[in-house]
Structure 1
Amino acid sequence: MSLACLFPGQGAQSPGFLHRLPEHEIVRKTLDEASATLGIDVLALDSAEALQSTVAVQIGLVVAGVAHARALAQAGLSPQFSAGLSVGAYPAAVCSGALDFANALRMVKKRAELMESAWPSGYGLTAVSGLSETQVETLANAQDGSERVYVANVNAPRQIVVAGANAALEAFAARALAAGARKAQRLAVSVPSHCELFADATEQLVAWSRDIPFRSPEGVYVDNRGGRPLHDADAIRADLATNMRYTVRWFDALTVMIESGATVLVEAPPGQVLTDIAREHYPEVAPLSAATLPLDRLAATVRRRLGVD
């Protein structure tokens, strides 16, 4: 019986999500540490206006993930596995012991700034339900016009996210629905994450992060690009620095954790999508969304599911 901590990506945010974190000393300390590191009040990052910024969203998700993981750890619940979708890989790296929180904040701020400056407007992501990756790829390759869309996330066998320009995404959504998709929905993401449009930004982040200290993880860190455990500090650095450019293979990461023995999965605030994916495809495990349970009740449920006192 093993615990996995899952960290959601951009799109999970909603106004006030940092203010809804548990009232807990370690949460307050984490918020204070983040504010001191960045020289801002991080609690100002979750207003509806602030969340229009990719930088605010990505920093806020890292803060929320680390705060909650620390609160669970103080309750004696440290995970054997850590994985995050897209920017969620940053709190996962902190949770696994591979990266200091302060350096994760600095690196994710740089990442988000590069992403936002590369494509400041007119781009985003659309989630397609009901088609396979092969079907989505075929539709993307057949799309007419100069602007193409890219497979950005494979969240589940028939839950695929595509990236591109607004007009291209709108045209693709119509084609996907005509081809039998159940739904094609724009996400609350204003950049075309996880595709070749971020090749230059990735090279800049790789160079910028070269001197940030990483360590081998204490637990198992599962990466985005290959959906496999990484045990080497430099490999984790490369995963974080380059994941904006490559397709996120979340379902592979989830499968690896479960096949390796993860039986209880806790998704950090503010997400529930990763919990729903696990519940649908792996009914034998116990996925829990921290955003839907008070901390003391969550900790008690995790202990019971793990069979520990």
Structure 2
Amino acid sequence: MLACLFPGQGAQSAGFLHRLPPHPVVQTTIAEASDALSFDVLTIDTPGALRSSVAVQVGLVVAGVATARRIAAAGFDIALASGLSVGAYAAAVTAGAIAFADALRLVAKRAELMERAYPSGYGLSAIDGLTEHEVERLADAEAAEAGLRIYVANVNAPRQIVVTGSDAALDAFNTRALAAGAHRAKRLDVSVPSHCELLADASEELLAYAADIPLQAPRAVYVGNRTARPLRTAEAIRDDLATNMRYTVRWFDALTVIIELGATVLVEAPPGQVLTSIAQTAYPDVTALSACATPDERLIPLLERRLGSR
């Protein structure tokens, strides 16, 4: 059983849309996105353009949907789809819950609201080697001693936690985490305080905007961010997409559910490899492939060998 995984903001790198395979379905997807947004999406993966959260988030959705469509065009059935943070939008398109053009407009609005709320001075840090409980305890100490508030944004793995807050809070927390035994505490290439109550107002505004966007029950299984459970109705998926900026992403729980539902092959859409690495470490018996690290001419034959005849 095949599952597609879609990375979130921070996975981007300059030129990532230009590195997608030159397959007709990929080219059609890029053209469709450009038509929907009224600009050439191939202009948004330059180093300068990627300073904008709008460019990053739109680009990630385009890359994710193009990759899933390429895999489907080769005759493979994508049974499950899930995405980390903004990757959820590509997952919802792939699962058949929302039209591609509508997802693009919704994610562009999402990024605009996030940037407007916090245009600078905030971000994310990845903390490796500490549990969620240990991170929360350190965050409480940081708030009590220095008055700097840190929030748990993502639980990517049992000892890979992403935190969010102001630049000053993150810099101080990184130092505190390393002193407490973290193997790594590194700022990510994200300029907004994702997945915490700082974005509550923006989340409510996006939920109101999303009310008029048509969604339907998914054809494939869609596993959500907030609850890390399969969501089977249009309204549940609408809520997950519109509010995930406000709540902690339970990625490791979502990955575990995907495996429990029977996925035997996982493909991570470009430009990410982090989700592949997490899966390979946690579930070594499951085939986990990064599409950006596996050229198209190798990926399709690999899927054929792992999944059997199409």
TM over 0.5: yes
Distance across 2 between alignment mates of 1:50 and 1:146: 34
Runs of 4+ in 1 over 6 A off after TM superposition: none
Q: Judge conservation of contact 1:89–1:223 (CA < 8 Å) in 2.
A: yes
Specify the alignment match of 2:208 in structure 1.
207
2:92 pairs with 1:90: no
Q: What are the within-5 Å matches in structure 2 for residues 1-309 of structure 1?
A: 2-143=1-142, 144-309=145-310
Cα distance in 2 between the residues matched to 1:232 and 1:91: 17
Structure 1 residue matching 2:44: 3-state secondary structure: helix
Give, in angstroms, the shift of residue 296 of structure 1: 2.9
Alpha carbons 1:97, 1:215 under 8 Å: kept: yes
Q: Using the alignment, how far apart are the partners of 1:118 and 1:28 within structure 2?
A: 34
The AA in structure 1 aligned to 2:166 is A
- State the Cα distance separating 1:308 from its structure 2 match: 2.5
Identity of aligned residues (%): 66
Tell me how far 1:79 sits from its aligned partner. Answer: 0.9
Shift in Å, 1:78: 2.5
Q: How far 1:76 moved relative to its partner?
A: 0.7
1:146, CA displacement in angstroms?
A: 3.0
**Paired amino acid for 1:159:** Q
Residue 190 of structure 1: how far off its partner (Å): 0.4
Q: Evaluate the alpha carbon distance shift between residue 297 and residue 69 of structure 1 in structure 2; reply closer, same or farther with a 3 A threshold.
A: same
Cα pair 1:77 1:299 within 8 Å, conserved: no
Deviation at residue 31 of structure 1 after TM alignment: 0.6
Q: Which runs of 5+ in 1 are unaligned?
A: none
Per-residue CA deviation, residues 183-207 of structure 1 (Å, 9 max, x unaligned), is 0000000001000000000000000
1:266 and 1:290 in contact (8 A); partners too:
yes
Partner of 1:81, secondary structure, is: strand
Query: Offset at 1:306?
Result: 1.5
Task: Output one character per residue of 1:209-246: Cα deviation in whole Å (capped at 9) or x when no partner.
Answer: 10100010001000001111000110000000000000
Q: Distance in 2 between matches of 1:153 and 1:248?
A: 5
Which residue identity is paired with 2:170? L
Question: Which range moved further: 106-115 or 76-85?
Answer: 76-85
The separation in 2 between residues aligned to 1:147 and 1:236, in whole angstroms, is: 34
Aligned-residue offset at 1:37: 0.6
Cα deviation 1:274-309 (Å, max 9, x = unaligned):
000000110010000000112232011012111335
Q: Which runs of 5+ in 2 are unaligned?
A: none
Amino acid at match of 1:270: P
* Number of residue pairs the alignment of both structures matches: 308
Structure 1 length-normalised TM: 0.99
